[in-house]
């Protein structure tokens, strides 16, 4: 059951009435605003040229009844070991969005850990337990990487190889990549594929920072639009941290070694 409640203060026209009888499909994913007294979740979305504010019953597809974001903890796994890493700075900025959404967040700086290349014959290696536990205990994860040779970094791949379904299955993940050159889209695509093989729930929104050295000054990201994309990524992982997981992916079914 879905009812229109009103409209947000935008230039878009207000539509009132029942959303189904108005002949408009509910735009998903909605942006959660708050639960109301009768147990509905207030959400907003854009359908056609109109912005809608509506209430969605909790059993509606993809909507959970847990909208308390205060307990959501996000870890941001950084795939660069460079001291002045733009990836790390961008992840820190994304976590500002996480905190603005009511969550908590920290960057996992892999320079602080001894994480040898994964040897599957060994139960633990170096600090692998500590890294893996931090990922497992997080409610949502940001994966940040530099573009290396047309893909994401080996540092991040190794960290992901140390993890498995216990850390990622059903978990909400946001992706971010930086590049010295053009848009690091392949790095993001490749990370998305890995996340599918681990049955993670990856946000549609992702942050790509091309020509990255020109996008930062001492204070932070200089391009307002890019800064917004990065902060929204951190916000979205909180908003969708408790989304109902999708059915297991085909790729995850083929990921036969991960559970060993």
Ligand X SMILES: Cc1cc2nc3c(=O)[nH]c(=O)nc-3n(C[C@H](O)[C@H](O)[C@H](O)COP(=O)(O)O)c2cc1C
Beta strands 2-6 and 50-56, pairing class: antiparallel
**Segment 63-82, which members bind ligand X (CB under 6 A)?**
80, 82
Sole binder of ligand X in the list 32, 40, 54, 148 (CB under 6 A): 148
Q: Cα(91)–Cα(89) distance, rounded to whole angstroms?
A: 5
Number of residues forming the site for ligand X (CB under 6 A): 15
Closest distance to ligand X from the beta carbon of 215 (Å): 10
**Segment 216-245, which members bind ligand X (CB under 6 A)?**
none
Closest distance to ligand X from the beta carbon of 144 (Å): 8
Q: Is 87 in the site for ligand X (CB under 6 A)?
A: yes
Q: Is 147 in the site for ligand X (CB under 6 A)?
A: yes
Contact 208/233 with Cβ under 8 angstroms?
Answer: no
Q: Cα(207)–Cα(227) distance, rounded to whole angstroms?
A: 9
Q: Cα(253)–Cα(158) distance, rounded to whole angstroms?
A: 21
Closest distance to ligand X from the beta carbon of 50 (Å): 40
Closer CB to ligand X, residue 56 or residue 212? 212
Look at residues 235, 231, 225 and name the one whose alpha carbon lies nearest to residue 172. 235
For residue 203, what are the contacts with CB-CB under 8 A and spacing of at least 6? 172, 173, 174, 175, 233, 236, 237, 240
Taking residues 156 to 175 in sequence order and writing x for each that binds ligand X by CB under 6 A, - otherwise, the string is: --------------------
Contact 191/249 with Cβ under 8 angstroms?
Answer: no
- Considering only the stretches 42-50, 66-74, 84-92, 127-135, report the one whose residues sit in contact with ligand X under the rule CB under 6 A: 84-92
Closest distance to ligand X from the beta carbon of 172 (Å): 23
Name the residue with tokens 């040779």. 149
Sole binder of ligand X in the list 4, 26, 160, 178 (CB under 6 A): 178
**Segment 110-139, which members bind ligand X (CB under 6 A)?**
none
Sole binder of ligand X in the list 77, 141, 143, 179 (CB under 6 A): 179
Q: Cα(17)–Cα(5) distance, rounded to whole angstroms?
A: 8
Q: Is 32 in the site for ligand X (CB under 6 A)?
A: no
Element (H, E) at 221: none
Binding residues (CB under 6 A) for ligand X: these are 80, 82, 85-87, 146-150, 178-181, 212
């Amino acid at each position: 059951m879905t009812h229109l409640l009103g409209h947000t203060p935008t230039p878009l026209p207000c539509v009132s009435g029942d959303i189904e009888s108005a002949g408009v499909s509910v735009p998903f994913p909605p942006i959660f605003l708050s639960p109301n007294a009768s147990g509905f979740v207030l959400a907003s979305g854009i359908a056609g040229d109109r912005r809608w504010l509506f209430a969605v019953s909790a059993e509606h597809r993809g909507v959970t009844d847990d909208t308390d974001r205060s307990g959501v903890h996000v870890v941001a796994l950084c795939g660069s070991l460079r001291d002045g890493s733009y990836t790390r700075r961008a992840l820190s900025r994304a976590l500002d969005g996480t905190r603005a959404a009511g969550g908590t967040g920290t960057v996992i700086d892999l320079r602080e850990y001894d994480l040898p290349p994964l040897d599957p014959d060994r139960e633990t290696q170096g600090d692998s337990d500590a890294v893996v536990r931090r990922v497992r205990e997080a409610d949502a994860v940001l994966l940040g990487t530099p573009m290396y040779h047309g893909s994401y970094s080996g540092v991040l791949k190794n960290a992901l190889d140390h993890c498995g379904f216990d850390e990622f299955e059903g978990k909400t993940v946001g992706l971010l990549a930086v590049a010295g050159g053009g848009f690091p889209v392949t790095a993001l695509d490749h990370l998305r594929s890995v996340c599918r093989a681990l049955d993670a729930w990856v946000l549609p929104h992702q942050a790509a920072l091309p020509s990255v050295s020109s996008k930062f000054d001492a204070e932070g990201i200089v391009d307002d639009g890019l800064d917004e994309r990065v902060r929204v990524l951190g916000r979205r992982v909180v908003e969708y941290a408790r989304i109902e997981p999708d059915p297991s992916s085909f790729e995850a079914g083929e990921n036969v070694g991960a559970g060993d």
